[in-house]
């Protein structure tokens, strides 16, 4: 079902953020009403933009040129009559067996050495195994040669159909955004390392999640 009012309101909200009329905190709060909707396109876009701002530190829009162009395509999706379809598949593979074995090793270590802070150290090798397993569990679907410039649409033809029907006008990337960033490269790397360290020392938690079937979610757009 196409909710034209919700689509227009969400598109206007995104444009306000892109034009620096809203900060990230204001944008995030305003998005709440769009996270649940009878229009799948509205929910999809509200969820998609969440990955492109920091909800822990307030800031004006910070986007690279590819990210800006991606936002323009999300606006195109909202302003066209294109519809979104979600497909979820769950499947088992050898990764669950490996996760169970590693989780049992965690339990065996705890039983043999007792509960204490020393387990953080002992869990590190198993946590590294969990990290490697997470990469192996990722979908291996192949992307087309133009995926980076058409996503979330499937092809240039689909993108053109949506453009023609919506009479959409793309806004160019503001040059001053190229010098704007949330964190320094050092801090970005620091948080990546921090997250992997936490993952390693708390190995039983991610391993337990990895014992369950792999869920693969796909989004397809019917242009109109």
- Radius of gyration of the CA atoms of the chain, in A: 21
Q: Could you tell me how far CA 152 lies from the centroid of its own chain? A: 12
Task: Tell me the per-residue pLDDT of 120-156, one tens digit each, with 9 for 90 and over.
Answer: 999 999 999 999 999 988 876 566 678 889 999 999 9
CA distance 15 to 105: 51
Which ranges of 114-220 would DSSP assign to H, the alpha helix?
A: 118-136, 147-150, 156-166, 185-201, 204-210
Task: Tell me the per-residue pLDDT of 29-87, one tens digit each, with 9 for 90 and over.
Answer: 999 999 999 999 999 999 999 999 988 889 999 999 999 999 999 999 999 999 999 88
Task: Tell me the per-residue pLDDT of 6-23, one tens digit each, with 9 for 90 and over.
Answer: 999 999 999 999 999 999
* Residue 88 bridge partners (DSSP): 217
Q: Where are the domains of the chain?
A: 1-61, 88-224
pLDDT of 143:
65
DSSP letters for 24-86 = HHHHHHHHGGGSS-S-HHHHHHHHHGGGGS-SSS--S----HHHHHHHHHHHHHHHS--EEEE
CA distance 26 to 213: 37
pLDDT of 141:
58
Closest CA to 106 of 88, 126, 128, 83: 126
- Both tokens of residue 101? 């074995």
Instruction: Look up tokens 């088992």; give the residue.
Output: 92
């Amino acid at each position: 079902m196409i909710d034209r009012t919700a689509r227009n309101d969400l598109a206007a909200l995104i444009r306000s953020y892109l034009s620096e009329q809203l900060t990230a905190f204001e944008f995030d709060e305003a998005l709440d009403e769009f996270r649940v909707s009878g229009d799948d396109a509205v929910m999809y876009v509200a969820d998609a933009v969440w990955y492109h701002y920091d909800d822990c530190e307030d800031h004006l829009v910070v986007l690279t040129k590819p990210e800006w162009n991606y936002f323009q395509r999300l606006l195109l999706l909202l302003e066209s009559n294109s519809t979104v379809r979600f497909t979820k598949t769950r499947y088992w593979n050898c990764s669950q067996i490996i996760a169970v074995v590693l989780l049992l090793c965690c339990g065996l270590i705890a039983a043999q050495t007792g509960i204490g802070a020393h387990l953080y150290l002992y869990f590190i090798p198993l946590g590294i195994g969990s990290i490697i397993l997470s990469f192996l569990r990722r979908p291996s679907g192949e992307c087309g040669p133009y995926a980076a410039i058409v996503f979330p649409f499937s092809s240039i033809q689909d993108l053109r159909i949506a453009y023609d029907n919506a009479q959409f006008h793309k806004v160019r990337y503001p040059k001053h955004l190229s010098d704007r960033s949330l964190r320094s490269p050092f801090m970005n790397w620091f948080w990546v390392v921090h997250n992997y360290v936490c993952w390693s020392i708390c190995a039983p938690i991610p391993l337990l999640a990895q014992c369950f079937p792999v869920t693969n979610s796909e989004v397809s757009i019917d242009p109109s």
